């Protein structure tokens, strides 16, 4: 089955479909979408044909029905009729597709998937089932961005970061307006980014990435994509927040598609709101793509549900990057000590001892189970379980460093039962 693949322009050209069933209906719909003039010949037709702008002859196929046609589809449930249509088409030098027997056709239908302005047609040695399986896999990869296809720019649009409109410049005449997508990348495992987020990443001209999040996806980007690392580590910021805001605005104003790739969720302790406001003030179009927050996903991967019937019905997520005794630490530790059944602390490792002391002082039971989860969702994930009284010393002994998520509450007791072994995890 060594065919010669070609795309045919059927706009305002006659195509004859013989048959009135489900296959004929699918073929007729696709032909109408391609702009063809469609004649349907069948004694009986599905009611959906009435919704299509096609000409219908309600009778059996007969010689002469293919006159003036560029293409024919034999799609009845009668092999003899299909063979007759194919033979008539062959004599008239009209390409014909037989729905019942692709190997007997002069032309064959590929399995087709479309993504924006990209059309992929798949053939697999005349095996339609295999073609459809491959088509589905390619369609999914195009949709989720794992098979990246950057949208074609119109003539005169800026091609990317190397174009004449440099950083901070305005897009030239006829250029496509730039935009910003604030994408939550999830807690680290590349598989946890959303489908929409991954697709936007594949279409980006510029990616401004955090230190946390699915950094492994950056290696899959097109070589022409500008990647800017704007990571923030405790006590060491590559870029200030104001610099990041200015950067994404300037790149968008230069006509680029900018993805701000953030760890976790866009608006959970990630300053995504500040970046969105910067776009609003600059008049730059933007969209927010939520992400899987590490506050829930990391405990889940460690076998710790943040709520569980019979244990707790509420939880609180807290940014604990400040020592509770420091000026500017505004958390209500009294309420946290007596309130939610589960506390999830982000950015808390550096102050574990002060936090534990504060909670115990304000009434939290010193025997409360605690888990510290390092590198959550990643192959290097490490889970330490302890108690509120001893967790700081235990974490120091095991040299646990950020990034880590701390979970305080009785749900930690479920870890031993629910934790699933993962390669590289302990």
> Active-site residue 232, yes or no?
yes
* pLDDT at residue 232 in the model: 62
Burial 331-342 (b: 16+ CB within 10 A, else e): bebeebbeebbb
* pLDDT at residue 169 in the model: 39
What's the chain's average pLDDT?
Answer: 86
In the chain, % of residues over pLDDT 90: 62
Burial class (CB in 10 A: 0-12, 13-18, 19+), 196: middle
Domain boundary among 276, 292, 308: 292
Burial class (CB in 10 A: 0-12, 13-18, 19+), 162: exposed
Tell me, yes or no, whether 300 and 396 share the same domain: yes
Cα–Cα–Cα angle for 396, 400, 401, nearest 5°? 115
Tell me, yes or no, whether 31 and 126 share the same domain: no
Tell me, yes or no, whether 260 and 248 share the same domain: yes
Q: Tell me whether the omega of the peptide bond preceding residue 403 falls within 30 degrees of 0, making it cis.
A: yes
Tell me, yes or no, whether 275 and 346 share the same domain: no
Tell me, yes or no, whether 313 and 405 share the same domain: yes
Options 65, 210, 265, 375, the catalytic residue? 210
In this prediction the pTM is: 0.67
**Does 3 reside within a domain?**
no
Beta pairing, strands 382-387 & 404-408: unpaired
Tell me the pLDDT tens digit for each residue of 130-182.
877 888 888 888 777 777 676 655 434 444 443 333 333 344 433 467 999 99
If pLDDT is split at 50, 70 and 90, which confidence band does 204 have?
A: very high
Options 65, 88, 100, 232, the catalytic residue? 232
184 phi, psi to nearest 5 deg: -80, 115
> Active-site residue 210, yes or no?
yes
Provide DSSP, 1-66.
Answer: ----------TT-EEEEE--SHHHHHHHHHHHHTT-EEEEE-SS--GGGGGS--EEE-S---TTTT
Q: Which domain holds residue 41?
A: 14-109
Tell me the pLDDT tens digit for each residue of 366-412.
999 999 999 999 989 999 999 999 999 999 999 999 899 999 999 99
Tell me the pLDDT tens digit for each residue of 299-352.
999 999 999 999 999 999 999 887 777 766 778 889 999 988 999 999 999 999
**Does 332 reside within a domain?**
yes
Tell me, yes or no, whether 103 and 124 share the same domain: no
CB atoms under 10 Å from CB of 325, counted, come to 10
**Does 6 reside within a domain?**
no
Q: How many domains does the chain have?
A: 4
């Amino acid at each position: 089955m060594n065919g010669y693949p070609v795309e045919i322009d059927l706009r305002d050209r006659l195509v004859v479909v013989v048959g009135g069933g489900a296959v004929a209906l699918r073929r007729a719909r696709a032909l109408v979408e391609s702009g063809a003039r469609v004649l349907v010949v069948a004694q009986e037709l599905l009611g959906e044909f009435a919704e299509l702008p096609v000409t219908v002859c309600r009778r059996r196929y007969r010689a002469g029905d293919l006159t003036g046609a560029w293409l024919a589809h034999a799609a009845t449930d009668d092999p003899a009729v299909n063979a007759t249509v194919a033979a008539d088409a062959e004599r008239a030098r009209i390409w014909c597709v037989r729905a019942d027997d692709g190997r007997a056709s002069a032309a064959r239908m590929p399995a087709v998937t479309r993504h924006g302005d990209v059309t992929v047609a798949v053939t697999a040695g005349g095996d339609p089932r295999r073609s459809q399986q491959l088509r589905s896999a390619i369609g999914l990869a195009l949709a989720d961005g794992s098979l990246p296809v950057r949208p074609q720019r119109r003539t005169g649009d800026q091609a990317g970061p190397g174009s004449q409109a440099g950083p901070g410049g305005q897009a030239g005449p006829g250029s496509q307006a730039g935009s910003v997508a604030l994408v939550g990348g999830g807690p680290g495992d590349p598989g946890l980014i959303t489908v929409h987020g991954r697709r936007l990443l594949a279409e980006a001209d510029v990616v401004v990435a955090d230190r946390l999040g699915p950094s492994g996806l950056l290696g899959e980007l097109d070589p022409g994509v500008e990647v800017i690392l704007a990571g923030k580590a405790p006590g060491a910021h590559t870029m200030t927040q104001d610099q990041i805001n200015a950067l994404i605005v300037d790149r968008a104003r230069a006509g680029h598609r900018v993805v701000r790739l953030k760890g976790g969720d866009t608006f959970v302790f990630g300053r995504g709101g500040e970046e969105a406001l910067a776009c609003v003030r600059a008049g730059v179009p933007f969209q927010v793509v939520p992400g899987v927050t590490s506050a829930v996903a990391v405990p889940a991967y460690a076998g710790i549900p943040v709520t569980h019937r019979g244990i707790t019905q509420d939880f609180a997520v807290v940014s604990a990057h400040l020592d509770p005794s420091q000026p500017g630490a505004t958390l209500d530790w009294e309420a946290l000590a007596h309130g939610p059944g589960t506390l999830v602390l982000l950015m808390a490792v550096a102050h574990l001892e002060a936090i534990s002391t504060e909670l115990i002082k304000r009434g939290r039971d010193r025997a409360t189970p605690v888990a510290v989860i390092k590198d959550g969702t990643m192959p290097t994930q490490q889970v330490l379980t302890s108690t509120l009284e001893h967790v700081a010393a235990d974490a120091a002994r095991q040299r646990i460093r950020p990034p880590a998520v701390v979970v305080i509450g009785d749900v930690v007791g479920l870890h031993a039962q629910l934790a699933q072994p993962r390669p590289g995890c302990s």
